């Protein structure tokens, strides 16, 4: 009997042949934490913290951030909260920094972790807040736009320095986002240092394909279904498995039911998505067999266009056709 989306919402997320898949939430505002309960998710796989900075004419204090993160973690009541340090730079610039930095000599051209390392005071305040919450709750730190050993090492040293200064006994797991081509070519270095990986298909796809993720949204010009992107995902899964390092996929396309089926075939077991997509994905995964997904994935890796991959996926999971 095929269960409707609503009817299977409370059921475990697993394939028909019993492969369990962890479903987590991507959220960008504290209030969205309630969706974790609502959609029966396993926790938060990506909390984007940029809002704290982008809407503020003042630097958000460690105390203010602590209050936000602590409330969210306590609402999750033991489920994990992956907090991504601010991913700013490029077109995402806080008003207070624009006011402070009128010339181009500052950090404004940098993105992600390197921007954070150039704005050390901002990063220190945020890490103070996260580390404080991590003494009580299952909070994990995720670093955006990592490009290799050097930036990751600097961030970890900063985390350890702050933990030591505050006398904290517990340092939370530290994860690296894999979303730049440089990170793909630095996987071994990154895996030496990271406790977990989060693969961001939004940025990875745009940087691999030389497209603009915002302009090409929903179009086949910028999709993780491009075989080259699929091969990159497969490589990350395989290398991480050798290092016994968990990998979560957290790009928007993880919420596409067909794509989620393909991810299982590529070896992914953790998916972080927009909570509203969880029902579709849960229903799809419950309707496929892992061994069929593996077969489809191996064919997809040999395709030449996203359209060919899409056609294969419709055979694997016909109910979305």
Q: Which of 240, 295, 229 is CA-nearest to residue 268?
A: 240
Going 174 to 74 to 22 to 301, the CA torsion angle's sign is negative
**Across 115-181, where does the E strand assignment appear?**
139-143, 174-178
Cα distance between residue 96 and residue 55, in whole Å: 9
250 is catalytic: yes
**Choosing among ligand PEP, Mg ion, none, which partner's interface includes residue 92 (Cβ < 5 to 8 Å by kind)?**
none
Cα distance between residue 60 and residue 305, in whole Å: 45
**48 is a contact residue toward ligand PEP (CB under 6 A):** yes
3-state secondary structure 114-134: HHHHHCHHHHHHHHHHHHHHH
**Choosing among ligand PEP, Mg ion, none, which partner's interface includes residue 48 (Cβ < 5 to 8 Å by kind)?**
ligand PEP
**253 is a contact residue toward Mg ion (CB under 5 A):** no
Q: Which of 49, 27, 194 is CA-nearest to residue 112?
A: 49
**Choosing among Mg ion, ligand PEP, none, which partner's interface includes residue 125 (Cβ < 5 to 8 Å by kind)?**
none
**292 is a contact residue toward ligand PEP (CB under 6 A):** no
Min dist CB 179 to ligand PEP, Å, is 5
**251 is a contact residue toward ligand PEP (CB under 6 A):** yes
- CB-closest chain residue to ligand PEP: 200
Cα distance between residue 1 and residue 110, in whole Å: 52
Cα distance between residue 43 and residue 197, in whole Å: 16
Cα–Cα distances in angstroms (integers) from residue 302 to residues 41, 227, 231, 268, 296, in the given order: 33, 7, 9, 19, 10
Which x/- pattern over 78-117 shows residues binding ligand PEP (rule: CB under 6 A)?
---------x------------------------------
Binders of ligand PEP in range 115-154 (CB under 6 A) = none
**178 is a contact residue toward ligand PEP (CB under 6 A):** no
Annotated binding site for phosphoenolpyruvate: 48, 84, 202-203, 213
Binders of Mg ion in range 176-235 (CB under 5 A) = 179, 200, 203
Active-site residue identified among 250, 261, 302, 303: 250
Binders of ligand PEP in range 183-222 (CB under 6 A) = 200-203
Annotated binding site: 48, 84, 179, 202-203, 213
Give the pair of three-digit tokens for residue 222: 């910028």
Residues marked active site are found at 250
Which residues contact ligand PEP (rule: CB under 6 A)?
46, 48, 87, 179, 200-203, 250-251
């Amino acid at each position: 009997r095929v269960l409707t989306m609503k009817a299977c919402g409370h059921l475990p997320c697993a394939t028909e042949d019993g492969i369990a898949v962890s479903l987590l939430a991507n959220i960008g505002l504290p209030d969205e934490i309630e969706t974790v309960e609502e959609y029966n998710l396993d926790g938060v796989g990506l909390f984007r913290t940029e809002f704290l900075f982008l809407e503020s004419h003042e630097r958000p204090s460690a105390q203010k951030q602590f209050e936000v993160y602590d409330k969210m973690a306590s609402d999750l009541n033991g489920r994990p909260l992956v907090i991504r340090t601010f991913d700013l730079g490029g077109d995402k610039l806080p008003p207070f920094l624009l006011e402070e930095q009128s010339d181009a000599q500052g950090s404004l051209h940098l993105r992600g972790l390197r921007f954070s390392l150039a704005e050390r005071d901002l990063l220190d305040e945020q890490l103070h807040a996260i580390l404080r919450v991590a003494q009580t709750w299952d909070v994990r730190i995720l670093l955006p736009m990592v490009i290799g050993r050097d930036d990751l090492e600097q961030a970890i040293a900063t985390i350890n320095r702050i933990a030591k200064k505050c006398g904290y006994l517990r340092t939370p797991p530290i994860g690296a986002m894999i979303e730049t081509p440089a990170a793909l070519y630095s996987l071994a270095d990154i895996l030496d240092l990271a406790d977990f990986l989060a693969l961001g298909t939004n940025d990875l796809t745009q940087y691999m394909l030389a497209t603009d993720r915002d302009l090409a949204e929903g179009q086949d010009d910028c999709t993780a279904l491009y075989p080259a992107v699929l091969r990159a995902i497969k490589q990350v899964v395989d290398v991480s498995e050798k290092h016994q390092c968990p990998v979560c996929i957290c790009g928007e396309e993880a919420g596409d039911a067909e794509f989620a089926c393909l991810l299982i075939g590529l070896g992914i077991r953790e998916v972080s998505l927009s909570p509203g997509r969880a029902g579709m994905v849960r229903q799809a995964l419950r309707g496929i067999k892992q061994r069929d997904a593996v077969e489809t994935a191996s064919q997809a890796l040999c395709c030449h266009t996203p359209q060919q991959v899409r056609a294969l996926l419709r055979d694997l999971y016909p109910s979305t056709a």
